[in-house]
Amino acid sequence: MNYEFFIAKRIIGSKAYKSSISAPIIKIGIAAIAIGIVVMMIAIATGIGLQQKIRDKVVAFNGHITITNYDSNNSQESVFPISKGHDFYPEFKTVEGISHVQAIITKFGVIRTETDFEGVYLKGVGAEYKWDYFKDFLLEGRLPDFTGKRNEDVLMSQYLANRLELKLDDTFQMVFRKDDPEKLPNIITYRIVGIYNSGFQDFDANYIIGDLRHLQRMNRWKPDQVGNFEVFIDDYNEIDKKGVEIYEDIPSILNSETIKNKYTSIFDWIQIFDTNIYGIIGIMILVAGINMITALLVLILERTQMIGILKALGSNNWSIRKLFLYNATYLILLGLFWGNVIGLGFLFSQKYFKLFPLDPSVYYVTEAPVYINLSYIAALNIGTLILCLLMLLIPSIIITKISPVRAIRFE
| Residue 37 identity | I
The residue among 94, 83, 92 whose CA lies nearest residue 63 is 92
The residue among 163, 409, 390 whose CA lies nearest residue 288 is 390
pLDDT value, residue 179: 76
Confidence bin at 300 (pLDDT 50/70/90): confident
Q: What is the pLDDT of residues 309-325, one digit of tens each?
A: 888 778 888 888 888 88
SS3 187: strand
pLDDT value, residue 168: 96
* Peptide linkage before 90 cis (omega within 30 of 0): yes
Determine which helix (DSSP H) or strand (DSSP E) holds 203, and give its type and residue range: helix 201-204
Compute the residue count for the chain: 411
- Whole-number Å distance between alpha carbons of 26 and 322: 18
Confidence check: pLDDT of 12 > 80: no
Mean pLDDT of 285-297: 87
SS3 266: helix
CA dihedral 323, 324, 330, 336 (to 10 degrees): -140
pLDDT value, residue 208: 96
Least-confidence region, from 53-57, 99-103, 407-411:
407-411
pLDDT value, residue 51: 92
pLDDT value, residue 27: 86
pLDDT value, residue 17: 57
Determine which helix (DSSP H) or strand (DSSP E) holds 210, and give its type and residue range: strand 207-211
Confidence bin at 18 (pLDDT 50/70/90): low
Confidence check: pLDDT of 16 > 60: no
The residue among 245, 235, 241, 232 whose CA lies nearest residue 91 is 232
More confident residue, 307 or 238: 238
Confidence bin at 181 (pLDDT 50/70/90): confident
SS3 209: strand
Confidence check: pLDDT of 301 > 80: no
pLDDT value, residue 316: 84
Beta strands in 34-135 (DSSP E): 65-69, 82-83, 98-112, 117-125
**DSSP-assigned letter for residue 98:** E
pLDDT value, residue 262: 92
Q: Percent of the chain, pLDDT > 90? A: 60
More confident residue, 390 or 366: 390
SS3 207: strand
pLDDT value, residue 249: 94
Confidence bin at 404 (pLDDT 50/70/90): low
- Whole-number Å distance between alpha carbons of 268 and 52: 14
CA angle 27, 33, 34 (to 5 degrees): 85
Q: What is the mean pLDDT of the chain?
A: 89
Confidence check: pLDDT of 15 > 80: no
Q: What is the pLDDT of residues 95-119, one digit of tens each?
A: 999 999 999 999 999 999 888 899 9
pLDDT value, residue 20: 65
Mean pLDDT of 213-218: 94
Confidence check: pLDDT of 222 > 80: yes
- Whole-number Å distance between alpha carbons of 45 and 28: 25
pLDDT value, residue 318: 82
Q: What is the pLDDT of residues 126-159, one digit of tens each?
A: 999 999 999 989 999 999 999 999 999 999 999 9
Spatial contact of 33 and 291, defined as CB atoms under 8 Å apart: yes
Contacts of 57 (CB under 8 A, 6+ apart): 133, 198, 199, 200, 203, 364, 365
Bridge-partner residues for 105, per DSSP?
A: 124
pLDDT value, residue 107: 94
Q: Is the dihedral of CA 371, 134, 105, 365 positive or negative?
A: negative
In sequence order, which ranges of 220-263 are alpha helices (DSSP H)? 239-249, 259-262
Confidence check: pLDDT of 78 > 90: no
Confidence check: pLDDT of 410 > 70: no
